[in-house]
Amino acid sequence: MTTRLTRRRALPLVGGALTAPLLPSISAAQTGLPEGKLKILVGFPAGGGTDVMARLMAEPLKQRTGRNVLIENKAGASGTIAAEAVKNSPPDGSTIIYIPSATIVQKLTMAAVPFDPMTDFAPLTLAGTVQTAFVVSPSIGVNTLAEYIDWLKKNPTRHSFGTTALGSFTHFFGVMVGREIGVPLEPVPYRGAAPLAADLQGGHIAAGCGGITDFLEHHRAGKVRVLFTSGLKRTDAAPDLPTATDLGYPKLNILGWYIFLAAAKTPPAIVQAWNKELGAILALPDLRKRLTELGLDVQTSTPEYVRERMAKDLAHWKGIIDGIGYKPQ
């Protein structure tokens, strides 16, 4: 079981877009992908981290394959609406999904989740790993976890945090933070990262949890403040940001990921074609640089590795969820 890793090398970006040419265009017949337009579903609103990453990848994929690659946002239910749409799509490889572990874990947290991640999809590739970030609004005037704890003690009516996906690790991580610091925190669900970031910026909520990919650019712009992240080691995207382990809370360690999936029963040849094309664009130094800047530690894999990792992590996460005492809703 191996993963494909390549070196990162910075190349210039123009207006936030990837420079061209990226890769030589290849004929449709050479790709092995289905004819016609290709759709990548995103289960969150436009403007959030998942959406931004998917759109960054769509352009070089379009250039490489000569296809019309569309990003379709099917927001709602923490990404499960989009996942169900791919599950029910024709198994011809024309529709795939870019999906975070925050959605996959809902198999463990929702009583009636409309998909089984182990049987209803054909894994294509891992795109990378991502840490959860604990962020605060600039309006509360804190810059460190210690300052936030002091602020909580002085503001007992504001012990809430926004989560980008209720019943996911952007929810559980916040609850775990509250337990570790000795100040219980109450989750408030949001329909993705974009509305949560807006409320944090406006001071409507004091804190929030989500993938570092959702908040890193807002942090750099001073719109939110990332206090710490959930990895064992600091993310490549922001080595200046401490992890919870750095701050003395080693139990606050959760690593998520992003993967590409197609419908179950997609022919193996098409699965391998997608794996090849997605691996090719994710090896592009300028795309890797841009995704890394957003907080994704880029890493590709075989389809088999995705399935094995899902099974392993679901078992691990179940232990965490049971420890918290969360029951499927």
> How do residues 269-303 score in pLDDT, each as one tens digit?
999 999 999 999 999 999 999 999 888 999 999 99
Residue 148's domain comprises 131-229
What was the pLDDT predicted at 17? 43
pTM for the full predicted model: 0.79
Please tell me the distance from the alpha carbon of residue 228 to that of residue 230, in angstroms, as a whole number: 7
Are the C-beta atoms of residues 68 and 44 closer than 8 Å to each other? no
Do 48 and 155 lie in a common domain? Answer: no
Name the phi and psi angles at 98, rounded to 5. Answer: -105, 115
Give the chain's largest Cα–Cα span: 65
Residue that wins the pLDDT comparison between 25 and 183? 183
Mean pLDDT of the region 5-34: 48
Are the C-beta atoms of residues 57 and 282 closer than 8 Å to each other? yes
What was the pLDDT predicted at 28? 46
Do 168 and 24 lie in a common domain? Answer: no
Do 146 and 220 lie in a common domain? Answer: yes
pLDDT of 47 over the 60 cut: yes
What was the pLDDT predicted at 48? 85
Q: Extract the tokens encoding 63.
A: 């250039």
- The Cβ-side half-sphere exposure at 297, using a 13 Å CA radius, reads 17
Other beta carbons within 10 angstroms of residue 27's beta carbon come to: 8
pLDDT of 78 over the 90 cut: no
pLDDT of 167 over the 70 cut: yes
Residue that wins the pLDDT comparison between 7 and 37? 37
Are the C-beta atoms of residues 76 and 190 closer than 8 Å to each other? no
Virtual torsion, Cα 53, 237, 129, 277, nearest 10 deg: 50
Residue that wins the pLDDT comparison between 191 and 182? 182
Other beta carbons within 10 angstroms of residue 6's beta carbon come to: 14
Do 13 and 120 lie in a common domain? Answer: yes
What was the pLDDT predicted at 39? 98
Do 35 and 53 lie in a common domain? Answer: yes
Contacts of residue 194, defined as CB under 8 A and 6 or more positions apart, other chains included, come to: 44, 45, 46, 47, 48
Do 113 and 225 lie in a common domain? Answer: no
Residue that wins the pLDDT comparison between 266 and 112? 266
**Residue 196 forms part of a structural domain:** yes
Give me the percent of the chain exceeding a pLDDT of 90: 73
Mean pLDDT of the region 290-319: 94
Angle value at C-alpha 237, between 233 and 242, nearest 5 degrees: 40
The 10s digit of each residue's pLDDT in 226-251 is: 999 998 899 988 999 999 999 999 99
**CATH number, residue 119:** 3.40.190.150
What was the pLDDT predicted at 13? 34
